[in-house]
């Protein structure tokens, strides 16, 4: 899978998971908690593959790309702030849903920005082989991150990573 397809797939999955969370009855707090934790893991892994692999490659394609990456990273910082707030709340706290809703709006704005501007530009600037290579690297790294985050030893590492 190429890098752009992977990012778009991640975007669709996070949107689907957040929608599923808001459709879930409040009477199922444990299921909501598990889903919320999955959403936060998926976002953390997605952000890492973007910031550590995709953005540096895209940034190197030109001065305008540098500005787009800077804007995307600012959006990540806002989402990170909301993720940190969510990490401090229990899913049964009414503030949790309100904060997740604000995060949803910010995530959807970020996705729209990327899919309308950065990803089409990347498709034009990178050749097929570069997109395929980036996609493989990103997928391998994402799988490793998710494995680490879901292992018992990864819980502490994940918490530390989300704080950064």
Radius of gyration of the chain (CA): 16
Q: Which domain holds residue 126?
A: 3-162
Reported confidence tier of residue 27, pLDDT bands at 50, 70, 90: confident
What values do phi and psi take at 107, rounded to 5?
A: -65, -45
pLDDT for the residue numbered 159: 46
pLDDT at 164 over 90: no
Reported confidence tier of residue 153, pLDDT bands at 50, 70, 90: low
Reported confidence tier of residue 18, pLDDT bands at 50, 70, 90: very high
With beta carbons less than 8 A apart as the criterion, state whether 150 and 41 touch. yes
pLDDT at 80 over 80: yes
Q: What is the mean pLDDT of residues 96-119?
A: 96
**Residue of 12, 41, 2 whose CA lies nearest to 115:** 12
Query: Which percentage of the chain shows pLDDT scores above 90?
Result: 83
Work out how many domains the chain is built from and give that number.
1
pLDDT at 161 over 90: no
């Amino acid at each position: 899978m190429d890098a752009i397809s992977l990012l778009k797939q991640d975007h669709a999955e996070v949107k689907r998971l957040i929608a599923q969370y808001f459709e879930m009855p409040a009477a199922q707090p444990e299921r909501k908690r598990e889903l919320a934790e999955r959403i936060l893991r998926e976002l953390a892994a997605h952000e890492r593959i973007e910031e550590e692999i995709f953005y540096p490659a895209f940034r190197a394609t030109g001065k305008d790309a540098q500005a787009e990456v800077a804007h995307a990273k600012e959006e990540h910082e806002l989402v990170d702030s909301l993720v940190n707030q969510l990490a401090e709340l229990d899913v049964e706290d009414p503030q949790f849903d309100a904060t997740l809703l604000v995060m949803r709006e910010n995530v959807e704005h970020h996705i729209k920005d990327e899919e309308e501007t950065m990803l089409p530009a990347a498709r034009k600037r990178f050749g097929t082989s570069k997109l395929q290579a980036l996609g493989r690297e990103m997928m391998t790294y994402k799988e490793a991150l998710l494995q680490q985050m879901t292992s018992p030893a990864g819980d502490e590492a994940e918490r530390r990573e989300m704080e950064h």
